[in-house]
Amino acid sequence: MRLGIDLDGVVADFDNGWMSRYRTEFGADPRMSHAEPGAPEIVWNGLHHGTHFPDMDAFWEWVHRIRLFRHLDPIPGALEALTTIANDGHEIVILTAKPDRAVPDTLYWIADHQLPTREIHFIHDKHRVACDAYLDDSPFVVPELVAHRPEATVCRMVAPWNEPVEGAIDVTDWSEFLDVVRSKVL
């Protein structure tokens, strides 16, 4: 099977990466300062809240200046699961929506972590790349995949910033995604 896999929030731990770096560099905890009671600690497209950055443009400028995309830790279990999936004969297709400035650091990250892939797409409309199954955490991408790729298995990596999508399978970690992949080939 061809498996379309997102990077940030699925394979690379972007949120813990930027928050840890922010704490180190600025001596403040961005989670504690912007989360309202009962609200998710991380807000999609609102990561600058609770930081000194006035808007998302300033936040992204900092992310690119510190080359954050090159220095993220992998999500626990991701590298092992991707290796298992590749060793089982499946194709890993990386589908990531990154700005042009992040492409070189992302390619270094993929090489440094030896992701078992021969195909990488830097693309916002991920449904344009045909795959048998997809794994993503974006609250915007998952519904698009379900709508545009009804023949595919779409999995949502459950996160505080997304909600269930009818037609998508929820997975909370890489072992659950492995179970879904194995169930599709048996």
Q: Domain containing 148 — which CATH number?
A: 3.40.50.1000
On whether both 62 and 90 belong to a single domain, the answer is: no
- Among 70, 85, 105, the domain boundary falls at 70
Per-residue confidence (pLDDT) for residue 42, from 0 to 100: 56
Tokens, residue 9: 């929030």
DSSP codes of every residue in 82-145? HHHHHHTTPEEEEEE---GGGHHHHHHHHHHTT---SEEEE-S-GGGS--SEEEE--TTHHHHH
Number of domains in the chain: 2
Tokens, residue 93: 């297709």
User: Is a pLDDT exceeding 50 seen at residue 34?
Assistant: no
Q: For 51-98, what is each residue's pLDDT tens digit?
A: 889 998 999 999 999 999 999 999 999 999 999 999 999 999 999 999
Per-residue confidence (pLDDT) for residue 41, from 0 to 100: 53
Per-residue confidence (pLDDT) for residue 142, from 0 to 100: 98
User: Is a pLDDT exceeding 80 seen at residue 31?
Assistant: no
Per-residue pLDDT band at 145 (split at 50, 70, 90): very high
On whether both 52 and 79 belong to a single domain, the answer is: no
d(CA 76, CA 87): 19
Per-residue pLDDT band at 121 (split at 50, 70, 90): very high
On whether both 120 and 163 belong to a single domain, the answer is: yes
